[in-house]
Structure 1
Amino acid sequence: MEVQVDIGFAQLVKLIKGMPQKQWLKLKKEVEEKSLAEQDREDYKDLLLNGPVFSTEQLESLENTRNAINEWRIK
């Protein structure tokens, strides 16, 4: 069974501040883990979008090398 409750931000903060220390630490750990996971995803996205790329010359060299290897394998 699932129950959904609309709580304002101020009420949520008040509830969290009233939590026992053990529950507060558990909640804090969960939030930090989610934050780290999101940061890792952003770092990965930045790497993919801004990372190094091959130049046209490097791509041509790679293609020539592959063709040469393929010719050698066929003989």
Structure 2
Amino acid sequence: MEVTVDIRFEQLLATIKKLPAAKIKQLKSALDEGYINAKASEELSDFQNYLLGGPVMDAEQYAQFKENRKHFSTWRQQ
């Protein structure tokens, strides 16, 4: 069984500040850098979602792009 509680950040912070020092230290160690970084890497930002939703080249378009790049490179060197 799972229970979810919707509380604002300010309420959560106020509740944590009321905890005894030992419990705050325990909470802090449970939320170490590794856990926070892993959690942050799971969540995508709006910009990341925007990039992931963008157009993608297929193999034929990529081959044409490489060919064009080769032509532009030789044109610039002349």
TM-score of the aligned structures, taking structure 2 as reference length: 0.39
